[in-house]
Structure 1
Amino acid sequence: MSSRWMKGLQLPGGLVFLGLALTASTVAALEPDALFDKVSGSVWSVRTFDAQERPLRAGSAVVIAPGRLVTNCHVLAKASSFVVKKDNVTYGATLELPDPARDLCQIKVANFAAPAVVLAPAGSARVGQRVYAIGNPRGLENTLSEGLLSGLRGGVGGESEARLLQTTAAISPGSSGGGLFDSEGRLLGITSFAARDGGSLNFAMPVEFLAELPTRAKAMLEARAREPAGSSQRRMPGVEVPLSEPLQPGDALEYVRIDKLTGNRSPVIYRLDKVNGDELSFNMGGRIEKIGGEVVSVTSPAGGMFDTSSPPGGWVRKDIQPGMRWHLDYIAASGDRLRHELNVTVGGARPFRVGGLELNVLHVGYEGWIYASYGTGASLVGTRFVGSALYSPELGRIVRFEGEHRRGNASATSEALELVRIQR
């Protein structure tokens, strides 16, 4: 019977309209393959990395607006960087809106053209309805699973009206941050976790939470900024910590060391082990600094010339100002323990970017001679040394160092050490 013929029927009790409603509902529901074709292009995988670019976690994310995706905050925990990926296409991404209490984090991707999903109307989730999960379980991109919405649970994020979505659709590691869709391909929620040894007990955060992300993220970050320094609540999964925040044990300074003669690049990590009064111990005591950045000792020169030629106290002075000049005459405490005679000049301020943040830094130049040192004596013939540093008063440390030292005609060292990010 055609819908046009039904529309012409005049039946009592509104039966014509009931028939039309049922027909419309049937038309709106999609077959699983059609639903997958409609929304799978909007579900991407997320890959996270530590400070040495080693893989940490894999998860999923759903495109909810142009250049904006939502994933679970626990997917981003402890990551120094992360990307979104589909097939052979990869984009760098940054955290934009964190809501760790609800385990939802919005991320931003530049020049990203993947289509956004359609959001289901608020309150439309119904127990017993057919649902579909799309994610990347165990790295298997664009995996579709089917099930029922088996329950609506309260208490999410400490609010009684919050309704967690319980589903029988399969969710495995790597699915976190994927999409849970209704039969029309509309997003019902963000798949988040499965109960351990719980059979088909899988859960998703409801789509209604997405509208509250901007307000909740702003409130959380403002509350966090008011907490005392060193508070255990200041570090939350998926939340970017300002570069200028004091270091805490477990944090790491990630530099890259560049051999300017060969172009080879290698990571250099200074990991903070403990804080003892006003002293910071890195790399199991291999480098010890004062809280203000003054160098106490370097017994493990991981940073190459930056460490082996370091003056007592470090390359800059605490009272450093543009236009300052001073002379250095010292025997380096590590490496070959060579005698250095250097003239130091502080230039003006200039911009420098670290981890996407623009800093104002001071340029410091070094020029002089290095002598082979034996005991308390020294060779009378020196070799030329030229170096420079960019010092950030905001961070209280050098963000880039360059040095060139020529030991006669046969041997030369030319390298740079640059701060890439601070791993929190």
Structure 2
Amino acid sequence: MSGPVKAVPLRTASAFLGLALAAGAAAALEPEVLFSKVSGSVWAVRTFDAQERPLRAGSAVVIAPGRLVTNCHVLAKASSFVIKQDNVTYGATLEFPDPARDLCQIKVANFTAPPVALAPAGSARVGQRVYAIGNPRGLENTLSEGILSGLRGGTGGGGAGEPEARLLQTTAAISPGSSGGGLFDSEGRLLGITTFAARDGGSLNFAMPVEFLAELPARAKAMLEARAREPAGSSGRRVPGVEVPLNEPLRPGDALEYVRIDKLTGNRTPVIYRLDKVDGDAFSFNMGGRVEKADGEVVSIASPAGGMFDTSSPPGGWVRKGVQPGMRWHLDYIAASGDRLRHELDATVGGERPFRVAGVELNVLRIGYEGWIYASYGTGASLVGTRFVGSALYSPELGRIVRFEGEHRRGNSSATNEALELVRIQR
């Protein structure tokens, strides 16, 4: 028979409780220990345009061997991008885009930085201590501390029929450049990807929850398949870093990237026509420096960026509507830009031929131009003509010239011989 149950003294019970609480809190890390544990897995992202000029800076977190996640808006309009930490830089490529949730997974070859641990799904709790690590304003591996101040639904989710997303709201400070960084719990586990801050401040900062990372591959595949089924000219949102068909209509922010080649010296100069706005049927490039209609007809050239392609351009452009092999026409005009010289040219359209732009083979028509350029024009003027020979490769599919060549000899000591070739279309 067992003896009577003895009461445990209050001070002893308190000691047991203290030990239990201490054991539960043992996994929490001091901020400096947490930073040392995960900072090697948070990298800076740098993006560049086609001329290797810097565009944007952001952050990315290693989630698997050779795989990082950042925000899609960090990669917007980039021709290339790298990840960087201290003096170490790696080239990176886009693997899985999910623009609806602003999450893009990128991959890096021969990359050995360790992945971070992921917090269990649904483990985020309002009031818990959190830490943001990223690269605000280019300051690499910056740590900020705060609490998880809210779980917000209804923004950042997917399409119709999907459950609302639960953004993580935090007081941990983030700034431009923090986008794509990590929001960690007190054990150094990834809770989310820091995405944006409220414009009016107030310690309102947000991250996409870690649960979304597992869904990235499937959602990216579904999105790309849906996009492939969209009709030409669809107004659906473009995906940063994803190749867009060359013949897709231009939108504000897109740019035509040409290279101008001086055939006498071999010098190559990039020429960019960036679409600033579309106003009805008018497409304005380079702040109004070039204006076209939707069908490619040239309305005006105020800033001739493309050399002879612009300074000798006929009214309406070098190509006529409905151009077909065998067509001929005569041109007699004063160029509206450059030295405003009189041109008298004959144009002849040849047959089709293949031509590649950004690795895509197009069927183009060759149009040849021969004639004279005059130093003056008008009744009673003394006209002294100099020879002009040129050609254009025109893509009916794109509705524009993909290569132009012109040679103009003004005498024994003065000549222009150049080409302008479309390299790619920046989206």
Q: TM-score, normalised by structure 1?
A: 0.74
Question: Identity, % of aligned pairs?
Answer: 71
Q: Is the 8 A contact 2:260 2:418 kept in 1?
A: yes
Residues 341-387 of structure 1: per-residue CA shift (max 9 Å, x gap) = 5655445213321xxx62424263646453425326885764363x4
Q: Secondary structure at the match of 1:391?
A: strand
Q: Is the 8 A contact 1:154 1:160 kept in 2?
A: no
Q: Which residue of 2 aligns with 1:268?
A: 272
Q: Which residue of 1 aligns with 2:197?
A: 194
Q: CA deviation at 1:191?
A: 1.1
Distance in 1 between residues matched to 2:95 and 2:367, nearest whole Å: 38
Within a 5 Å distance, the mapping from 1:264-303 to structure 2 comes to 265-277=269-281, 280-283=283-286, 286-303=289-306
Q: CA deviation at 1:208?
A: 0.6
Change (3 A) 1:170 1:276: closer
Q: Is the 8 A contact 2:292 2:299 kept in 1?
A: yes
Give the partner amino acid of 2:356.
Answer: P
User: Which residue of 355, 358, 361 corresponds with 2:360?
Assistant: 358
Q: Which residue of 1 aligns with 2:100?
A: 101
Is it true that 1:315 corresponds to 2:318 in the alignment?
yes
Within a 5 Å distance, the mapping from 1:274-423 to structure 2 comes to 274-277=278-281, 280-283=283-286, 286-311=289-314, 313-319=316-322, 326=328, 329-331=331-333, 333-334=335-336, 335=338, 336-341=341-346, 345-353=350-358, 358-362=360-364, 364=366, 366=368, 368-375=370-377, 382-383=386-387, 385=389, 387-423=390-426
Q: Is the 8 A contact 1:400 1:419 kept in 2?
A: yes
Q: CA deviation at 1:395?
A: 1.8
Q: Is the 8 A contact 2:357 2:422 kept in 1?
A: no
Q: Is the 8 A contact 1:148 1:167 kept in 2?
A: yes
Distance in 1 between residues matched to 2:212 and 2:421, nearest whole Å: 40
Q: Is the 8 A contact 1:372 1:378 kept in 2?
A: no
5+ residue gaps, structure 1: 1-18
Distance in 2 between residues matched to 1:367 and 1:195, nearest whole Å: 57
Distance in 1 between residues matched to 2:88 and 2:372, nearest whole Å: 50
Residues 29-59 of structure 1: per-residue CA shift (max 9 Å, x gap) = 6554454344333322233456776655432
Within a 5 Å distance, the mapping from 1:18-167 to structure 2 comes to 26=26, 32-48=31-47, 55-77=54-76, 82-91=81-90, 93=92, 95-108=94-107, 114-127=113-126, 129-158=128-157, 162-167=165-170
Change (3 A) 1:285 1:337: farther
Change (3 A) 1:114 1:338: farther
Q: CA deviation at 1:244?
A: 2.3
Distance in 2 between residues matched to 1:313 and 1:25, nearest whole Å: 75
Q: Which residue of 1 aligns with 2:14?
A: none
Is it true that 1:179 corresponds to 2:182 in the alignment?
yes
Change (3 A) 1:201 1:313: closer
Distance in 2 between residues matched to 1:58 and 1:405, nearest whole Å: 45
Q: Is the 8 A contact 1:253 1:269 kept in 2?
A: yes
5+ residue gaps, structure 2: 1-18
Q: Secondary structure at the match of 1:157?
A: coil
Q: Is the 8 A contact 2:275 2:283 kept in 1?
A: no
Question: Which segment drifts farther, 365-374 or 403-412?
Answer: 365-374
Distance in 2 between residues matched to 1:156 and 1:290, nearest whole Å: 38
Q: TM-score, normalised by structure 2?
A: 0.74
Q: How many residues align?
A: 398
Distance in 2 between residues matched to 1:169 and 1:184, nearest whole Å: 16
Q: CA deviation at 1:218?
A: 4.3
Q: Secondary structure at the match of 1:101?
A: coil
Residues 14-42 of structure 1: per-residue CA shift (max 9 Å, x gap) = xxxxx99987984x665544543443333
Distance in 2 between residues matched to 1:161 and 1:326, nearest whole Å: 61
Q: CA deviation at 1:140?
A: 0.2
Q: Is the 8 A contact 2:364 2:395 kept in 1?
A: yes
Q: Is the 8 A contact 2:349 2:367 kept in 1?
A: yes
Give the partner amino acid of 1:271.
Answer: L
Distance in 1 between residues matched to 2:311 and 2:166, nearest whole Å: 59
Q: Secondary structure at the match of 2:213?
A: helix
Q: Secondary structure at the match of 2:218?
A: helix
Give the partner amino acid of 1:408.
Answer: G
Q: Secondary structure at the match of 1:302?
A: coil
Q: CA deviation at 1:207?
A: 0.8
Distance in 1 between residues matched to 2:200 and 2:64, nearest whole Å: 35
Residues 157-209 of structure 1: per-residue CA shift (max 9 Å, x gap) = 35656433233433223212101223444322101233456654433211110
Q: Is the 8 A contact 1:328 1:344 kept in 2?
A: no
Q: Secondary structure at the match of 1:416?
A: strand
Question: Which segment drifts farther, 94-103 or 137-146?
Answer: 94-103
Q: Secondary structure at the match of 1:417?
A: strand
